[in-house]
Structure 1
Amino acid sequence: MPAAVKHDGDDPPPRRTKVSSKNQVTLPVAALAAAHVKSGDILQVEVEGDGVLRLVRYRDPRLDLLEEIAGSMPGLAELTNLEELRNEWER
């Protein structure tokens, strides 16, 4: 169930967060929704300059290739749930 976005008025919600003492941040729900990032996605951190970080969804090219190959073989895609296998590998 998606979390409700909390903000007042007609203005878009602020997309700010604070770095904790453990170097952790909470990403605003509105920003995640706008970027189509969901729970479980892996994000790569890129440094673009002083005070500028960029988060990019990471995709393993090997898994993409495997998914493409499995999808090109009739019947194999239905027998192989690659998303489930990916989740098992992450455990």
Structure 2
Amino acid sequence: MTAAVKHDGDDPPPRRTKVSSKNQVTLPVAALAAARVKSGDILQVEVEGDGVLRLTRYRDPRLDLLEEFIGSAPGISAAANLEELRDEWER
């Protein structure tokens, strides 16, 4: 996480957030870092009870199979960055 933790005397303490009128929340950087959740991760929301939500990182089992295949196929590397390859084609 490269973002700095913002905390002002009037703000709620870290690891607390407020639900907006659009039902959105901002997750505190300290909590994300502690859970090792980063930008781009997909989170699954589970309701555990009244006022209790649980967020867990979601992994698509199909992606796990694909990563396994990539590791076993000759000439295909998991380190291949498709975005870089697409950028090369546009040059």
Coarse TM-score class (shorter-chain normalised): 0.7 to 0.9
What letter corresponds to residue 3 of structure 1 in structure 2? A
Cα RMSD (Å): 2.6
Unaligned runs of 5+ in 1: 85-91
Aligned residues: 80
Cross-structure match for 1:17: 17
Segments of 5+ residues of structure 2 without an aligned counterpart are 85-91
Give the direction of change, closer, same or farther, for the CA distance of 1:50–1:75 in structure 2 (3 Å limit). same
TM-score by length of 2: 0.74
Q: What is the rounded CA distance, in whole Å, between the counterparts of 2:53 and 2:42 in structure 1?
A: 15
Higher gyration radius (CA) = 2
Contact 1:67 1:82 in 2 (8 A): no
**For 1:42 and 1:48, how far apart are their aligned partners in 2?**
19
What residue number does 1:37 align with? 37
Percent of aligned pairs sharing the same letter: 86
Shift of 1:80: 4.7
- For residues 75 and 2 of structure 2, the distance between their equivalents in structure 1, rounded to whole angstroms, comes to 33
AA partner of residue 53 (structure 1): L
Query: Take 1:6 and 1:79, find their aligned partners in 2: how far apart are those partners?
Result: 34
